[in-house]
Amino acid sequence: MKIICAGLQKTGTKSLAEALRILGYNVHDVFEQFYYEKELWNKVLRNTAVIADYQRILEDVDAVMDFPAVAVWEKIMEAFPEAKIILTIRSNEDDWYTSIKNHIEVINQYIPQSELLQQLLHVILGPTRQEFIRYESGFIPACIGMTRMCGTPKEPILRSRYRQHNCYVKSACEKTKLLIYNVKDGWEPLCHFLNKKIPDRPFPKRNIKGGMVHEVAQQKWEHDCGYAKAVNREALIRIGFLISVLVSILSVILYFFTI
């Protein structure tokens, strides 16, 4: 582990992830963590993870960001004390709140507002989606103070968590190993901090105005590790099964009405 990206969601994490990939790092963002580090996150949720687990499971990963990792970033720092820490921030708190509010509203376009319909949808979408929601429900509260990245944005809670998180990261890290970074500043401060040559290409801009949500839903997000295809496949299997059950039930009903 070389880099721990300790910034909260909607602080430019997807742009930073792409920038680090361009610089040659093996980056594990949300979906890579979901698929490749399940053993660790399950242990965290069961409260059985020890430092040796972090060291073993994350040993070959260069950089982590977003959830689950950002919820336990200080544990990862304890496991890898030589790692550098990047705290991504927005220009001001209002910018961050507006961005995360917009992101949540985009997610809401894909989720029913009724709790009952949400539960029904989760059953239909299958085990991959259910497992992802379990991780989201386990780690997102530690990040932004909301149960999940959907529903009604809780402005006072979100703003408070942003301030508390940033203050804590700044106070908990050695200054020589910490970069407080706004992706608007581009390559120079990032490459200087990492002792890397500045690439001859523009700094990447990803997930603008919640665009990642649409790309994942449309199977166009290149770093989802096959998540959307797996969810769609499992949903089709379940829908097909439900249809066959309904057809069978209707056939039996019609039979008894015609005899």
Q: Which residues contact 231 (CB under 8 A, 6 or more apart)?
A: 125, 126, 128, 129
Assess whether pLDDT exceeds 90 at residue 245.
Answer: no
Q: Is residue 225 part of a domain?
A: yes
* Residue 249: inside a domain: no
Q: Rounded distance, CA 127 to CA 157, Å?
A: 31
Most confident of 57-61, 109-113, 219-223: 57-61
pLDDT in tens, 186-206: 999 999 999 999 999 999 988
Whether the predicted pLDDT of 210 surpasses 80: no
Distance between CA atoms of residues 205 and 92, nearest Å? 19
State the alpha helices, DSSP H only, in 109-186.
115-125, 127-144, 155-172
pLDDT attached to residue 152: 86
In a domain, 177, yes or no: yes
pLDDT top residue among 197 and 147: 197
pLDDT at 9 (0 to 100): 93
Asked whether residue 247 is domain-assigned, the answer is no
Cα(99)–Cα(57) distance, integer angstroms: 32
Q: What pTM was computed for the model?
A: 0.88
Residue 89: burial class (beta carbons within 10 Å; 0-12, 13-18, 19+) = buried
Residue 91 DSSP symbol? S
What's the pLDDT tens digit per position in 60-75?
A: 999 999 999 999 999 9
pLDDT more than 70, % of the chain: 95
For residue 179, is pLDDT > 80?
A: yes
Domain ranges, residue 49: 3-232
Residues 147 and 42: their CA atoms lie apart, in Å, by: 18
Q: What is the CATH number of the domain that holds 227?
A: 3.40.50.300
Distance between CA atoms of residues 19 and 187, nearest Å: 8
Q: Is residue 244 part of a domain?
A: no
What is the C-alpha separation between 142 and 140, in angstroms, rounded?
5
- Band (pLDDT 50/70/90 cuts) for residue 218 is confident
Indicate the pLDDT class of residue 259, thresholds 50, 70 and 90: low
pLDDT in tens, 89-136: 999 999 999 999 999 999 888 877 767 776 777 777 788 888 998 999
Q: Is residue 241 part of a domain?
A: no
pLDDT of residue 92: 94
How many structural domains is the chain composed of? Answer: 1
Task: Report if residue 246 sits inside a domain.
Answer: no
Phi, psi (deg, nearest 5) at residue 28: -110, 105
Question: Would you say residue 239 lies in a domain?
Answer: no
